[in-house]
Amino acid sequence: MDDLARRLKGRALALGFDRVGIAPAQAPPGYPHFLAWLDAGRGAGMGYLADHAGARAHPGAILEGVRSVVMASLVYGGRSGQPAVGKVARYARGADYHTALRGRLELLAEWLRDEAPGVSARAVVDTAPLMERDFARLAGLGWIGKNTMLIDRKLGSFTVLGALLVDADLEPDAPHASSHCGTCTRCLDACPTGAFDGPYRLDARRCISYWTIEHQGPIPDAAAGELHGWAFGCDVCQDVCPWNRKAPAARIPEFAPRPEWEAPDLVEWLTRSKWRWKRLLTNSALRRAGRSGLVRNAALTLGVAGRVDAVPALAARLADPKEDPTIRHAAAWALGRIDAPEARAALDAHARG
């Protein structure tokens, strides 16, 4: 199995993964912390995390008889420019990372079954109840930073993780036992909404990524006014991390940024047809928020920015009786934040029915 593990890693790298390591299948060390995080309400409205919390206690809940966890990472991009309003998190600017990871993991699983007949393997991306960062640390891929992200000394933290669960004993790598954050608190200090109340303590109830991606329906006024130009996700705590100063760019073509997500026109988002939304969200991580969430986010950020040029599009969304109520709510909120006669006129027209 030692030789098999070595060849498996070589095959993973040949498939395009940037790093690969192997951890024994065990209870993840961070599981008690995860339960305490849920109990404190820090998971906000992500009820699915609590619903499947028990399954995260051991990877055996995903693959019966699992003995090894192969962790692999893909770099999705280092530093790049972004607009002041309409920012999209880097991981979502190219093709859907789920597709990029799963396709390579399935090929790796196929290779393993050919090399070791009788071995079972299951590819896992972040839709399964696995504590990926815990197992990535156990597999030697890096340490978990104060912003709760996995950090690799050479790759930084702009990486996505996938796993291959195997029911055979593969030679494990030494876990990454140390942290290299030192006394640095730049990630905690830079968070524009104060979502961290200490190292390793993220409160989703104050996190821009939560509100712009996971939350469904209207965003409460307090959070709506604190999106800081982000239309999907947030990279601030990674942008300021010293370990990302020399973060490499993505090597795989799937992660090349798409123009519509790298420098989006949020006014156009408001007027874009549902058919075009459906087409553009195909094989995109932004599909998680969907048209409703993305147009909502666009309206809110344009309102905070006081964009008078967005008033006609906002007024049209508000006036459309067939429009999603979440979008209409956001359009009204945004118009109320824009100090212009035409914005007030649109609100007055809506009030008159």
Give the separation between CA 76 and CA 95, rounded to whole angstroms.
10
Q: Are 72 and 79 contacting, i.e. CB atoms less than 8 angstroms apart? A: no
Give, in order, the Cα–Cα distances in Å from 187 to each of 24, 203, 243: 31, 14, 11
Beta bridge mates, 152: 156
Contact 22, 5 (CB under 8 A): yes
Catalytic residue among 114, 126, 134, 152: 126
Catalytic residue flag (residue 126):
yes
Residue 83, burial from CB neighbour count under 10 angstroms (0-12, 13-18, 19+): middle
**Nearest Cα to Cα of residue 219 among 59, 104, 326, 344:** 326
Distance separating alpha carbons of residues 319 and 312, to the nearest angstrom:
10
Q: Known catalytic residues?
A: 126
